[in-house]
Amino acid sequence: MNQSQRALAAPFFAMLLMAHGPASDDPIAGMFGVASGMPAQAMDIVEAGDGQLLEIAPPTPDTRFGTYVALATPQAGLCKFTAVGTPMKDMAGQVVRQNYADIQAELTALYGAARLDEPDLLDADGSRPEKWVRALLNDDGKLETIWLAGPQNNLPDGVDAIQLTLNAVTQKRAYIALSYQMTNFDACTAERSS
């Protein structure tokens, strides 16, 4: 984003701060500094995909994640945000699973118990730990935790769901993704399909 684009985006940032309060110093608690409905013009765009799917540099990045993707339409604004971790070489999945558990605990402390927590079905008996990431890649199991808006969960304003997943890209590399689906997601989807 160049200087003139930043100057144009400043009023949008001010509006968002008034509507949603200041971003938290904790990237996850503060949703990385983005908010539901945030216009694309207010984002620091690294690369534009199809014009609505954007790689951005969030105001509050987290070192556990390397890529940030936003889905924003002209009318609805930001309707989905995903922080994607850098794939780690970890055949047994020990490091990436620990990172997943740490982020899951942080989210649970912030928002309450998850509504859906897929158990770690991969090699439950521990007989082949070196094959854990391969099993994940082959979809023999799944690691996914979802927090849904409701009375038991105190999700941020404008957020319907938070999804934490652990994914494999090769037999030796896995990464974590953290997604926030906003309350305007259906409007965004309808806008994209029209």
Predicted TM-score of the model (pTM): 0.81
pLDDT above 50 for 21: no
Say which residues have a Cβ less than 8 Å from residue 108's Cβ, sequence separation at least 6: 114
At 13, phi and psi to the nearest 5? -60, -45
With cut-offs at 50, 70 and 90, classify the pLDDT of residue 15: very low
Q: What is the mean pLDDT of the chain?
A: 80
Q: Which pairing describes strands 173-182 and 159-168: parallel, antiparallel, or unpaired?
A: antiparallel
Residue 5 confidence (pLDDT):
38
C-beta atoms surrounding 55 within 10 Å: 15
**Which amino acid type is present at position 160?**
D
Range of the domain at 16: 1-194
Q: Give the pLDDT confidence of 161-191 residue by residue, as tens digits.
A: 999 999 888 888 889 999 999 999 999 999 9
d(CA 45, CA 100): 27
C-beta atoms surrounding 160 within 10 Å: 19
Token pair of 139 as six digits: 């979809």
d(CA 169, CA 184): 30
Structural contact between residues 148 and 142, judged by C-beta atoms closer than 8 angstroms:
no
Comparing CA positions, the residue from 96, 32, 98 lying closest to residue 67 is: 32
Which residue(s) pair with 120 in the sheet? 142
Q: Give the pLDDT confidence of 40-64 residue by residue, as tens digits.
A: 999 999 998 876 889 999 999 999 9
Instruction: Provide the domain count of the chain.
Output: 1
Comparing CA positions, the residue from 84, 75, 1, 65 lying closest to residue 38 is: 75
